[in-house]
Amino acid sequence: MIDLIKKYLNRNGFDSFDLKAVLFDMDGVLYNSMPAHAQSWQETMVEFGFETTSYNEFFMHEGRVAEATVDMIFERERNRKANADEQKEIYARKTELFQKYNSGKTIENSHSVIDLVKKRGLLPVLVTGSGQAALLDKLNDNFPNTFERNTMVTAFDVKIGKPHPEPFLMGLQKGGNLKPNQAIAIENAPLGTEAAHKAGVFTIAVNTGPLDTQVLWDSGADMVFDSMSEFYDTLPQLLDTLAEVKN
């Protein structure tokens, strides 16, 4: 653990951590919503006549804003970007199917992680590319008194989106104009991990989906956990170590 932390400090030119906030991704970290996202994307694209997409592909796109995902598939099959009407129709259908399939279930132990973060005096900040009202509107019911509008980065805030560092840089800003060594990021997807890494934040990937764990290391994670339970069990020791390590 100490080696991984020192590696981060060396790479980013910091002497130590001064932890103030934890940047939480939403889908796949707080909500077990990724299977519903992948299924609704896949069905939508088949309905619109696309032939090369697969259920698992959407776990690789996870974290991208919807428009960028649609453009990527259009360019692959039709050698052009989607126009505004196509974007609107596809997103509307995908949202309709998502609302049908999404169970609203949270990831097991995500509540315990949030509670521990708050108990340690750290500020939870949401950093998501999602614009799904079905989840965003329920955040306060599922995770009461945790995220407020000014500590949330969503699809409505970001222009570029993951894997660009923009959402995490905004998260640092919303956390109180923080430097990268004043926060850690919790992600589950390769593009989100890449975005947090590029923002210079210590990035913890928790593999809650079907992808190979190596994909998360390769996309820049500083630590990788196989489940939220494993992460929760390690979190007290990790927070203690982050507070103590001097480079």
Q: What are the residues binding Ca ion (CB under 5 A)?
A: 25, 27-28, 188-189
The structure tokens listed for 171 are 């998260």
| Least distance CB 117 / Ca ion (angstroms) | 17
- Smallest distance from Ca ion to CB 192, Å: 5
To the nearest whole angstrom, how small is the minimum distance from the Cβ of residue 114 to Ca ion? 16
Question: In angstroms, rounded to a whole number, what is the distance separating the alpha carbons of residues 24 and 202?
Answer: 12
Edge-to-edge strand order for the sheet containing 152-153? 152-153, 123-127, 21-24, 183-187, 202-206, 223-225
Assess contact for 227 and 246: CB atoms under 8 A: no
Judged by CB, which is closer to Ca ion: 27, or 194? 27
Return the number of the residue (24 or 74) whose C-beta is nearest Ca ion.
Answer: 24
The closest of 130, 127, 135 to 195, measured between CA atoms, is 127
Nearer to Ca ion, 28 or 167 (CB): 28
Smallest gap from Cβ 238 to Ca ion, in A, equals 20
Instruction: Give the shortest CB-209-to-Ca ion separation in angstroms.
Output: 8
Q: Which is nearer to Ca ion, 17 or 41 (CB)?
A: 41
| Residue number, 5 or 211, with CB nearest to Ca ion | 211
Burial 101-120 (b: 16+ CB within 10 A, else e): ebeeebbebbbebbebbeee
List Cβ neighbours of 80 (8 Å cut-off, separation of 6 or more): 74
Q: Which residue is nearest to Ca ion (CB)?
A: 28
Residue 214 — φ and ψ, nearest 5°? -60, -35
Show the tokens assigned to 46: 């088949």
